[in-house]
Amino acid sequence: MKTGNNRERDLVPTPSQTVGPYFQIGMSGSREIPRIAGADARGERVKLVCTVFDRDGARLDDAMIEIWQANADGKYNHPADRRPMPVDPAFLGFGRVSSNSEGICVFETIKPGRVPGPGNVLQAPHLEVSVLARGVLKRLATRIYFAGDPANDEDPVLALVPKSRRHTLMAQPIASPRGGEPGAWRFDVHLSGSRETVFFDV
């Protein structure tokens, strides 16, 4: 920050002093990963359409969503997952997309299998999500579940969320698969306000 006699003129904010979408400089464009599951990946194919909103309901065109998920067998494509289960070579397990002019991020993936949670209880199919946006000093961590999945009632993490807020973690179906097309699901992320998405302290 500059100093001088004319403070109004000389005190100019720099990137280290402002909160903006600087992550897009090095992680957007060709560095985005919208396709988590390749054409040969096992499992139920899913097109996931995420939209990011601010507290006033305006769509954010400079947000970014990252997704980490298990494959159809419930195995993470990561060395830390040492369970004796197959790794799907056509499945990446990670995705990253910045929002477009309408605040939308689109991913091509598969519905994940169930993985053990607290107390070794199987969790419902879900995706781990990080949200980055202007005004966000630390990534916001949330989850995407699939509305109507019978395993939701058994999920130990979802059970920690008040029933009145669980709907904010549910992707909703927006199209039925036809002719081999993936089923499409909508997930809205509200950063704050009366419709705020549940975020986890991790």
CATH code of residue 88: 2.60.130.10
Backbone angles phi, psi at 151, to 5 degrees: -75, -15
Q: Is residue 4 one of the residues assigned to a domain?
A: no
Which pLDDT score, from 0 to 100, does residue 57 have?
94
> Is residue 161 situated within a structural domain?
yes
CB contact set of 171 (below 8 Å; sequence gap of 6+): 48, 144, 145, 146, 147, 185, 186, 187
User: pLDDT value at position 137?
Assistant: 77
Give the pLDDT confidence of 158-202 residue by residue, as tens digits: 999 999 999 999 999 997 767 666 789 999 999 999 999 999 998
Structure tokens at 84: 């004796």
- Domain membership of residue 10 (yes or no) is no
pLDDT attached to residue 179:
65
Q: How many domains does the chain have?
A: 1
What is the pLDDT at residue 24?
61
Residue 151 and residue 158: Cα distance in Å, rounded? Answer: 10
- Round to the nearest angstrom and report the end-to-end CA distance of the chain: 33
pLDDT digits (tens, 9 = 90+) for 30-85: 789 999 999 999 999 999 999 999 999 999 998 999 999 999 999 998 889 999 88
- pLDDT the model gives residue 202: 81
- Look at residue 69 and give its three-state secondary structure: coil
pLDDT higher than 80, residue 6: no
Give the pLDDT confidence of 125-171 residue by residue, as tens digits.
Answer: 999 999 998 878 789 999 999 999 999 999 999 999 999 999 999 99
pLDDT of residue 106: 97
* Contact between residue 37 and residue 77 where contact means Cβ atoms under 8 Å apart: no
Confidence of residue 2 (pLDDT cuts 50, 70, 90): very low
Which residues are paired to 59 by β-bridges?
A: 53
For 52, phi then psi, to 5°, come to -105, 130
| Secondary structure class of 118 (helix, strand, coil) | helix
26 in any annotated domain: yes
Domain of residue 39 covers 19-190
- For the beta carbon of residue 6, count every other beta carbon within 10 angstroms: 8
Interatomic CA distance for residues 2 and 10, integer angstroms: 6
Q: What is the mean pLDDT of residues 4-31?
A: 60
pLDDT in tens, 73-110: 999 988 899 998 889 999 999 999 999 999 999 999 99
**Confidence at residue 177, expressed as pLDDT on a 0 to 100 scale:** 66
- Give this prediction's pTM: 0.85
Task: With respect to residue 150, please indicate whether it lies within any of the assigned structural domains.
Answer: yes
**pLDDT attached to residue 22:** 60
